[in-house]
């Protein structure tokens, strides 16, 4: 038995689903011990529509900034001078479990140099510094949200 629908409801206009995409800037925290790279990466990503909410040059500062700023994505240099970006990625995961999928490891070195460590890391992906761009970050985040760790090789 189907319920009776009042005639007044039948006379209402139908409403379609609004499908227009609303672009919201991805909030990014960049962690690197090279001040020149931090400045260049921030400028590049800002120009490409990302919202760089902060930068950090040490693990301690990165953990504090991640907690304070709650970025969507954290770019972490593998080589932070005396510190390890892999350890920082693990620390970010432990401190803020949501960050597990949000950390992207970056490096000037080729991925092959760190392939096993990258695969075993808690980061969602690796991105060579030479390929850094807003669209690449969006692609990596999109791939990760579909379920698997993106293949960047």
In a domain, 56, yes or no: yes
In a domain, 148, yes or no: no
Q: How many CB atoms lie within 10 A of CB 37?
A: 18
In a domain, 146, yes or no: no
Please give the structure tokens belonging to residue 92: 């970010």
**Model confidence, pTM:** 0.78
pLDDT of residue 95: 78
Give the 3-state secondary structure of the chain. CCCCCCHHHHCCCCCCCCCCCCCCCCEEEEECCCHHHHHHHHHHHHHCCCEEEEEECCHHHHHHHHHHHCCCEEEEECEECCEEHHHHHHHHHHHCHHHHHCEEEEECCCHHHHHHHHHHCCCCEEEEHHHCCHHHHHHHHHHHHCCCCCCCC
pLDDT of residue 23: 58
In a domain, 37, yes or no: yes
pLDDT of residue 97: 59
pLDDT of residue 2: 47
In a domain, 120, yes or no: yes
Give me the number of domains the chain comprises. Answer: 1
In a domain, 21, yes or no: no
In a domain, 6, yes or no: no
Report the chain (153 residues): mean pLDDT per 10 consecutive residues. 46 39 76 97 96 96 93 95 94 71 90 93 93 94 66 49
pLDDT of residue 8: 43
Report residue 7 CA to chain centroid gap. 50
Which CATH number do you get for residue 38?
3.40.50.2300
For 79: left if phi > 0, alpha if psi spans -120 to 50, otherwise beta; the answer is beta
pLDDT of residue 85: 95
Residue range(s) defining the domain that contains residue 93:
26-138
In a domain, 69, yes or no: yes
Distance between CA atoms of residues 4 and 152, nearest Å: 56
């Amino acid at each position: 038995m189907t319920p009776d629908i009042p005639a007044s409801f039948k006379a209402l206009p139908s409403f379609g689903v609004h499908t227009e995409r609303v672009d919201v800037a991805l909030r990014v925290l960049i962690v690197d011990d090279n001040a020149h790279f931090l400045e260049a990466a921030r400028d590049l990503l800002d120009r490409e529509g990302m919202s760089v909410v902060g930068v950090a040059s040490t693990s301690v500062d990165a953990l504090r900034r991640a907690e304070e700023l709650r970025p969507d994505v954290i770019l972490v240099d593998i080589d932070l001078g005396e510190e390890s970006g892999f350890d920082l990625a693990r620390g970010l995961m432990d401190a803020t479990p949501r960050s597990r999928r949000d950390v992207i490891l970056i490096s000037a070195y080729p991925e092959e140099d760190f392939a096993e460590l990258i695969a075993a890391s808690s980061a969602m992906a690796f991105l060579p510094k030479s390929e850094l761009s807003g669209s690449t970050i969006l692609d990596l985040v999109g791939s990760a949200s579909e379920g698997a760790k993106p293949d960047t090789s």
